Chains A and B, each alone.
Chain A
Amino acid sequence: MSQDTKPQSSATPADRARALFKVLDDKKLIPDGFIGNFTKLMENDWDPSNGARVVAKAWVDPEFRELLLKDGTKACEQFGYTGPQGEYIVALENTPKLQNVIVCSLCSCTNWPVLGLPPEWYKSFEYRARLVREGRTVLRELGEELPDDVAVKVWDTTAETRYMVLPVRPEGTENMSEEELAKLVTKDVLIGVARPHVS
């Protein structure tokens, strides 16, 4: 009937990934340890607890906060949070009247060293299509009901800047240590779809 209906493939994404691996491996193009080392970076080193540490320090140290807002790359470098997808970092300062939120409508760009690899939902067609147009609605659906007087500012990561959100330090945290404060900052908080809460 239609020439553009392709025959159904029986191969899975896993089959394709392994086929590409095997073709490269058969040609001896994959150095020993390359996959393992890169996987360790992705699974362990790049983690939202990195961004949480940066935020907690900015909450307790006004000088660091100033540096973070002026030169996010340099501030994150102090922690060793550099590398691919962390080359030009800009921190977005929330206020009681402003909520910043990050998306990449064109693909999936994220600040890997500071936030970790993006979660599945961040890469979903739903999030990419809807956030730029219906930010407040999407946040509400994700459980963050913002008062009307809080403006929503969506940052579409369409070039090489890699963002992180600097949330407002919640009330009732005056006696918390930097370490305790960091535990309030989740991956969703760093993306901007949630605000930190004291439980």
Chain B
Amino acid sequence: MDGIHDLGGVQGFGKVPHTKNSLTYKPVFHEDWEHLAYSLLFLAADHMKQFSVDELRHAIERMDARHYFGSPYYDRIVIGTATLLVEQGVITQEELNACLGENFQLARAYSSPGRPALPERPPFEVGDRVKVRDEFVAGHIRMPAYVRGKEGKILHRTSVKWPFPDTIGHGDKSAQLQSTYHVEFNVRDLWGSAADDGTVVVDLFEGYLDEVT
């Protein structure tokens, strides 16, 4: 989906709030609740097998745009996890509200059932020129909008395959397994002269790509 989470190249942001470089960046958590976010996520996704990390990503993308922008990082993880646990019927909105003492705002409902991958086809090879498919998808997708329709060059094909995000991100376990490709783009092919020089490499599932002929 063309959501607010898809931030690559969006203008209107100032300096990165970089904290001083150090060997460890300890402490890892800055507030005493933050460890709960990933812990409860892994409890639900990994231990209880209630959903995949792809579904978690999409749940966070489904947050209302203002809600997303107003919530700090670990809060979004908590909200995404709570949303999926309610949707799976493990807990209820009422139970969350009762514990919180007010409405526990969750992500918005799905606006799409997701989609299957294209039929399998021969893999691309390192060095091939490829074009990112010019597609608009209402559900989950792991193609940042800034490469949509753009041409790049394949640097690497993964030796492992993963479930197609646009399918598994909606909880559909029939997702086709695909390799991903590290595709290199010239930054100025993406944003013209309103960008720095250099290249950007995007890790793209096979189903997002077409060969340039």
Contact = CB atoms under 8 A, between A and B. Distances in A.
Contact of A137 (B10, B100, B196): B196
B198 A116 contact: no
Contact of B38 (A38, A127, A157, A188): A38
Contact of B11 (A11, A30, A129): A129
B143 A158 contact: yes
A17 B23 contact: no
Interface string B43-70: 1001110000000010010000011010
Contact of A13 (B27, B74, B142, B190): B74
A170 B195 CA distance: 30
A82 interface: no
A90 B156 CA distance: 10
B39 A129 contact: no
Nearest to B41: A38
B122 interface: no
B10 A23 contact: no
Interface string B22-44: 11110111111111111110110
A47 B162 contact: no
Interface in A27-70: 27, 29-31, 34-35, 38-39, 42-43, 47-49, 52
A135 B9 CA distance: 11
Given A16-B100, A29-B43, A159-B142, A105 B8 contact: yes
A30 B43 contact: yes
Contacts of B6: 105-106
A58 B137 CA distance: 42
Interface of B: 5-19, 21-25, 27-40, 42-43, 46-48, 57, 60, 66-67, 69, 71-75, 78-79, 81-82, 85, 90-91, 95-96, 99-105, 142-144, 146, 156, 158, 160, 162, 165, 180, 182, 184, 187, 190-191, 195-205
Given A90-B156, A159-B180, 8 more contacts: A20-B99, A29-B48, A34-B43, A39-B35, A116-B28, A129-B12, A156-B201, A158-B143
10 contacts: A23-B91, A38-B43, A105-B146, A121-B19, A136-B198, A138-B16, A154-B201, A155-B200, A159-B158, A188-B21
